[in-house]
Structure 1
Amino acid sequence: MRRRTMLGLAAATVAAVGAPATVRAAPRPWREEYVSLGGGAHPVHVYRVGAPTARQVLVLVAGQFGAAGGYRILARGLARRLPGTQVWAVDRRQADLADLSVLRGGDLDRSTDRYLAGRYRSWTAGTAPFAADWGLATTLADVRRVVCAARADGRRVVLGGHSWGATTALLYAGWDFAGRPGHRDLTGLVLLDGGVHDAFAGEGDVYRVTPAQARDGLVAIAAGEVFDPSLTMGRTETYAVLALLAGRYARTAPSAPSTLAARLPAPLRPAGPVDNLGLVEHLYASHPLVPDLAIGPAYTSVAAAAEVLAGAGPTAFEWYWPQRLTLDLSAADPFSRTATTDVLGLRPWHGASIDVPLYCFQTGLTCGSVTAAARWVTAHSRIPTATYAGDEAMTHLDALWADPRRSPVVDTVVPFLRRLDER
């Protein structure tokens, strides 16, 4: 999702996630793991799915408040269809701030009581002042570490993302890394329901940040507005915590009466009793908090949504999103150097020289503006070929969580990625 105006790298640790049984029979070695790339106090984690021997790596960046676990279904679907491509979903450094230790005891009711009582480590501006500087430059430097790791041994790298993750991917391609344009690291771009240059205008989100507004934003962040409050429901991390718990209950005992439902904040609470799976249906199909957080039953089952939400290594949502990253992504939307990007120290200087193939998929969220924006990028760059696909019946989350067997995203991006792999 993305903010609405209304609201030499070595693997330090490797945690096996466990591939489904249907995957173990694949002709190539299959691996599904959550890897921490060394990075000192703030490591970057990567969720890797597919064959380690693959010649091509698709690196994916999540949207605002989205985390690597949100790609679980899509990554598996793509890796099954493309044995020559491994999928790497990036968890930004703020994902490491989530305190998941409470879940390790195995007693879900006890864990829920502790979370709802606030008995876990929660970060604030006072305890995490370092996050004030976690803007676009920091994020792109971390993505570059992942891209460089993926390029080891001569592998080709395609970079993509969903929502503001697609924005991030494009900005990486146009970024100046000490004189080297980011697109030189890549062989293709994959944009899933996001982008730059008014990509979200059809939803009503148009970003125009003046130099004065940029300076005011920096002052506010320095004064303590470290984390973006868009999903704050008591605490910044409350929504992500509740989504994780709802998914856990739905996966553990789907038909049992929900004890969590009555304890939710009023905007999330169902009107009457529901079972655990019914609570997920309420939160993501019947009464989503915002359109960005909806699923369509024609593409995404409630059970699949519960599986994504229940994952803790990696999670579906970040607990914290730096306000500086919101400011920077908004300011960089014109996709060129401006007085505002200069104030913020941003370097989107090479958009016009991007020369790799592009794929764009649009759902019904933005009424055509995602595709229009991608066409603008193609027309104002050296992109040699572009593939535009979409389905107006799909929701923003369907692009990630839809059943791969009937997902228009999978059906249309697979040929694009296969062509890149065969070049």
Structure 2
Amino acid sequence: MRSLSTRRRTQFLCAACCALFACVSVAEEPRDSPPLRFGMSTALTGPVSELGIQMRRGVLSAFAEANLAGGVQGRQLELVALDDGYEPSETGPNIHRLIELEQVLAIVGDVGTPTAIVAAPIAQRAKVPFIGALTGAGVLRKSPPDRYVINFRASYAEETSMMVDALVAAGIEPDEIAFITQRDGYGDAGFAGGTAALKRHGIERPGTIAHGRYERNTMAVEGALADLILHRPTPKAVILVGAYSPCAKLIRLAKESDFDPLFLNVSFVGGNLLAAALDDQGDGVLVSQVVPHVQEDLAINRQHRAALALLEPTKSPPTQISLEGYVVGRLLILALQRIEGEIRRETIADACEGLGDFDLGLGVPLRLTSDEHQASHAVWATRIEAGEVRPIPWSELLPQERQP
């Protein structure tokens, strides 16, 4: 009897241990991890909405690619995109909402200089990484850099400087180069870069440079155009720092007025959008780019097309802006993959600065460190021909019929 009682006690203890082990095992099974949430305040409506839509499209394609491969640390990537209509007054509340209510880990791919001027300081104060904004403004490129502001693209100063240098090398006199800019921080940034380049080429007084301006989010370009038509000497090249709709209207009006200089646009205009807006009036118009042409045989282009196919069954073609969004998304994901342990806002900032020299398949070197918060300094040239935006070398900026 004593032996049976001992055996039963042993069986009971074994059963109890098994039950306890089963409970512990169930408790320790991994639950579905919450997504890694990122935010974007961008223009999804209004006169530059296509830029915001394409930038969001590019970032989402990079996220779709990563999510299909299992995400980062087993967590899916999610983007919360809010519309600001390219109006700074809407941007501030959006950024506060993303940081405080949506609890995003970083702000990524915001569109526009006037909006970034509002958004970046909010993110900086909240210690939230502000990554890959679609702007080349100098306010985001301080020296030493702001800890939480991480740029991918070349600056507007680099774009306009490249244009001025190429024009002068092609035989255009510095005082024959003019500007039409949007009346805000975006236009001012582009004009400042062009002015600095013209000073290097002998223009001593910026006040002598032909310069027209128009109001943001309007099509009121007639006054700016008139300022250039009346200027002497007559400009042979006009650098436009604006949005695609007003720039297209200005170019059309200029041709109707028999004013036919070479028109050059910075990347923010969106080359394919400008070409579509100009229709049959676009031939010869130039656009600088901060990513390679989407048809170049490069790894980044092949990967972007494949990522878009995951995102969109209709397989809409890539654009320069969607490619930039994709590159920004890939940059962020690369930084996330370098993080060991918990992914937090602070560790994302550390990881971006720790990327050092890296390669995303663009064919140019990229670098981010604690002292360098702009990954790329490359600027490419493209020209609109027969409704298509085509890559050209900077040495061929002027077609044969415009050679001095």
TM-score in same-fold range (> 0.5): no
If asked which structure has higher relative contact order (CA below 8 Å, sep 6+), I would say 1
**Structure number with bigger Rg:** 2
Say which structure is richer in helix: 2
TM-score (norm 1): 0.30
